[in-house]
Amino acid sequence: MHHLHARLLVCHIRRARLQAHAVAIAEAVKLLDDLGAEALPGGPLGDQRGLFWLTVPAMEVDAAVSRLPRLGYTVAVDLLEPSATNGRIHTRQRRDDRRRLRWRGRDYNILRAYEEDAGEARERAPDRRTFVLDTAAGARAVRGYRGDGGDLSRRGLPVCDARLLVNLAGGARAKTLLDPFAGAGGAALEAIACARYVFTCDRDAALRFGLRALGARHYVADACCLPFRAASIEAIATEPPYDASARDVVLQAFGEMARVLTVGGRVALLTTPDQAAGLRPLAASLGLAVEVDSAINRKGMDCVALVCSKPVPGYTQGGNIGAEEQSMELKELVEILACPIDKQPVRMEENWIICSYCDAHYPIQDGIPCMLIEEAKYPNGKKNADQPAPTAS
Ligand SMILES: C[S@@+](CC[C@H](N)C(=O)[O-])C[C@H]1O[C@@H](n2cnc3c(N)ncnc32)[C@H](O)[C@@H]1O
């Protein structure tokens, strides 16, 4: 071990995601990096498949272990304790779990610090959980809802991929996290378990009760015209539709994601290889830095995990809200909303979200704002229609 006061974690990658080695490491590092975790190029038991190694400062081990159940692509983690601590019975350790190994001339006890509860993971899976769907006969709970089979509406992100996205986006420490293509809420559900405010958008109004029931702050909205102010969201985790016809929607929505991200914010997407090919140059032109760009095979389906961040200096397009404003408490959630047409501030009046600039009235239906441009009403006529909107803030 390269540092006496560091502890080594031996991480076991999920069997079904063994090929996604680099992404699994990136996920774990992102989850633990504020605790000083670092990936090692190699470690003990290196002859076994599907392992990677992290070091964590000894004083942060408990904090790190408490976060491990959030991992998606790692199913078990062993903690190596130098055997000098041998006499002590560790609370994380059951005596019968104890194993030993020798590495680089030192003896270690191997403690199982985390192991996924397979039963619990299965219950969270899209085909097991219930989702409230708005149907012609009213709202009803549907078990195993996987979408209506349409090209742009297939749903049901596996739990491990949902956790991966949330962790890669930095969701565990984010105050605000958004999924703009929320579907049946796979990513939202995992985000709600760790981020403070989780926002979801989906064009399909039938999903609104289900997404709200999960605990998200949901808006019926188009990902290509997001109803949020510039630089208002710290983390975005999303799986856009995979169908070839969705390519332009995904590229357009990516521009919107870049706009609403805070400086230092991060977007994690699971896309098709073709979408990723379009997103890479777009990220560069939007001033985003690509942090992770890795192929994943999901049961025969080729995907790409793409993570981009908005660097601290430099990105000015669309204007950023000030640091002071970014760090403030979100007293009123409406403060981060913007009109999807001109990105200007909005206010809430009775059952409407109203744009202060163009006076578009967006209806709040069953307590859920519908921020689709085509649903906007203009009871007083359109205002400022002949003027260019001021620079959005
Ligand atoms: C691949 S699914 C997301 C699946 C989601 N990760 C889950 O676990 O259910 C894509 C979702 O995007 C939505 N969608 C498609 N085009 C959209 C758009 N332009 N704006 C917002 N949502 C859109 C569809 O209604 C669908 O629910």
- Which CATH number covers residue 160? 3.40.50.150
Same domain? 110 vs 185: no
Same domain? 275 vs 160: yes
Using the 3D structure, point to which of 116, 139, 159 is the last residue of a domain.
Answer: 116
Per-residue buried b or exposed e for 6-21, using 16+ beta carbons within 10 Å of the residue's own CB:
bbbbbbbbbeebeebb
Name which of 225, 208, 218 is nearest 260 in CA terms: 225
Same domain? 89 vs 200: no
Q: What is the largest CA-CA distance in the chain?
A: 79
Residue 137 belongs to some domain of the structure: yes
pLDDT on residue 327 = 35
CB of 298 within 6 A of ligand 1: the answer is: no
Same domain? 177 vs 39: no
Entry field: residues in the chain: 393
CB of 187 within 6 A of ligand 1: the answer is: yes
Residue holding tokens 């404003």?
325
Same domain? 104 vs 185: no
pLDDT on residue 313 = 62
Residue holding tokens 């709202």?
139
Both tokens of residue 169?
């986006």
pLDDT on residue 67 = 96
Using the 3D structure, point to which of 294, 309, 327 is the last residue of a domain.
Answer: 327
CB of 211 within 6 A of ligand 1: the answer is: no
Residue 376 belongs to some domain of the structure: no
Three-class SS state of 320: coil
Using the 3D structure, point to which of 116, 143, 163 is the last residue of a domain.
Answer: 116
Residue 340 belongs to some domain of the structure: no
Residue span of the structural domain in which 289 resides: 127-327
Query: Which of 124, 152, 177 is the pocket-test mutation for ligand 1 (most atoms within 8 Å of CB)?
Result: 152
* Separation in Å, CA 317 to CA 237, 263, 265, 283: 22, 11, 15, 13
Over 115-151, what HEC string results? ECCHHHHHHHCCCCCEEEEEECCEEEEEECCCCCCCC
Same domain? 142 vs 92: no
Same domain? 155 vs 257: yes
Atom number in ligand 1 closest to CA 224: 19
Calpha distance 37→33 (Å, rounded): 5
- The secondary structure of 281-312 as a DSSP string is HHHHHTTPEEEEEEEEEETTEEEEEEEEE--T
DSSP 173: G
pLDDT on residue 311 = 87
CB of 184 within 6 A of ligand 1: the answer is: yes
Same domain? 89 vs 159: no
CB of 157 within 6 A of ligand 1: the answer is: yes
Residue 213 belongs to some domain of the structure: yes
Residue 393 belongs to some domain of the structure: no
For residue 272, report the distance from its CA to the centre of ligand 1, in Å: 14
- Which CATH number covers residue 105? 3.30.70
Q: Say if pTM beats, i.e. exceeds, 0.75.
A: yes
Residue 162 belongs to some domain of the structure: yes
- Number of domains, the chain: 2
pLDDT on residue 321 = 38
Residue 39 belongs to some domain of the structure: yes
Same domain? 192 vs 313: yes
Atom number in ligand 1 closest to CA 239: 6
Same domain? 222 vs 307: yes
- The secondary structure of 42-98 as a DSSP string is --TTTTSTTEEEEEEEGGGHHHHHHHGGG-SSEEEEEEEEEGGGTTSPPTT--GGG-
Same domain? 145 vs 290: yes
Residue 367 belongs to some domain of the structure: no
Half-sphere exposure of 151 (CA within 13 A, CB side): 6
Mean pLDDT per block of 10 residues along the chain (393 residues) reads 76 95 97 96 90 96 96 97 62 57 89 94 87 89 80 80 97 92 95 90 95 94 97 96 95 98 96 97 96 91 95 51 38 81 93 95 92 96 85 65
